[in-house]
Structure 1
């Protein structure tokens, strides 16, 4: 796998929908991962794919954020969004259950940005769901237990968005959810971009790189 180069494509939605549809048509459940740095458009693409396909389930990695109270207890609330601020073993366990597809329904958590908290049992994935889409920052990370996730997914797509556009989106997102501009820009510089540099190192491990400029 180290010698394999990812397929590099543009951000043409029709092509991406057709590729996702081909995964769902294999007969058994497929799991598609979408990754990339904060603000790259992972959630937006995943939502577009689900809308276009009609019967796919969306299970974001963000549902496995640790609760704010636990982040404060651990002293890592200023690093929210870094790998250690997620229940990574719980996420891996859920992917195992989704891959097995033996239960009548698997319930996944979601992350509510208006509350800044995860909500358990919010996303039902019935056994008959042919395609599950999961999106998040660290699907290609080498560290334990993230390193196991690659083998649980049929494909992983990495979104490579122009940094200036991505950072602008991040700042606006933080403002939208309550920070003033100075605080939003500081959070992006000190936290989000620190995470982004780590994620960028995983780009070439993806099956598909979506270049959006």
Structure 2
């Protein structure tokens, strides 16, 4: 795993150094739930920022991590759907995200950087209240390497497809479904999404891995496939 990360860091650093100062480098990292994509995005952001701080001490950090979690539809929006019980049970499925809103963010970040470029804000997700928090992730004009992470960033369906085409790179973190299931059980119990392992397993099988099948079966071509393995360095997801 460490060798994969080292290679990817070198690749992105080389692309960043050769890119015009007026542009951003956008990388979309996708994978099935529990694959380790959040961990990869976090590690990549940290490593690129460490390189930048070493090369350009004193300057604002250059890399930012934007998770797709903030683009969940709110519980109120799910409750307003024709079948609110189904929508709530399937939260995390593609139709329970605001893909159009995410596309608008990507379009804005794709614009040419100028001295008057403002800070752009993305939403985060508060697991305590189980809803997005608007304008919670600042993306500074100096943030020129953006790592996006989310289930549907390489999905061959609009509006995700349009957002994917605006990325400089699409990466896919590949994990077998059984490994993902075990990770999801631990995560759901820890986050309070499920009261116990039995409930967490049911959610993983009936929702998360159903979504995972769509993600795998309808994936756009990607530039990198990263094989997910257990690694102490990947402890974020």
Which structure 1 residue ranges, 4+ long, deviate > 3 Å from structure 2? none
Selected match of 2:133 from 107, 119, 135: 119
User: 1:157 matched to which residue of 2?
Assistant: 171
> Which structure has the greater CA radius of gyration?
2
> Within 5 Å, which residues of 2 pair with 1:83-122?
83-102=94-113, 103-122=117-136
TM-aligned CA deviation for residue 71 of structure 1: 1.1
Instruction: Return the alpha-carbon distance in structure 2 between the equivalents of residues 70 and 22 of structure 1.
Output: 42
> Within 5 Å, which residues of 2 pair with 1:32-111?
32-54=27-49, 55-74=62-81, 75=84, 76-102=87-113, 103-111=117-125
User: 2:224 matched to which residue of 1?
Assistant: 208
TM-aligned CA deviation for residue 207 of structure 1: 1.0
Confirm or deny: 8 A CA contact 2:156 2:220 kept in the other structure: no
User: 1:168 matched to which residue of 2?
Assistant: 182
Q: Which runs of 5+ in 1 are unaligned?
A: 1-8
Q: Which runs of 5+ in 2 are unaligned?
A: 50-61, 230-237
TM-aligned CA deviation for residue 118 of structure 1: 0.8
Q: Deviations over 1:139-160 (max 9, x none)?
A: 1222221120121100010000
Q: Deviations over 1:143-180 (max 9, x none)?
A: 22112012110001000013222111111000001211
Confirm or deny: 8 A CA contact 2:27 2:168 kept in the other structure: yes
TM-aligned CA deviation for residue 41 of structure 1: 0.7
54-63 or 89-98, larger mean C-alpha shift: 54-63
Q: How many residues align?
A: 205
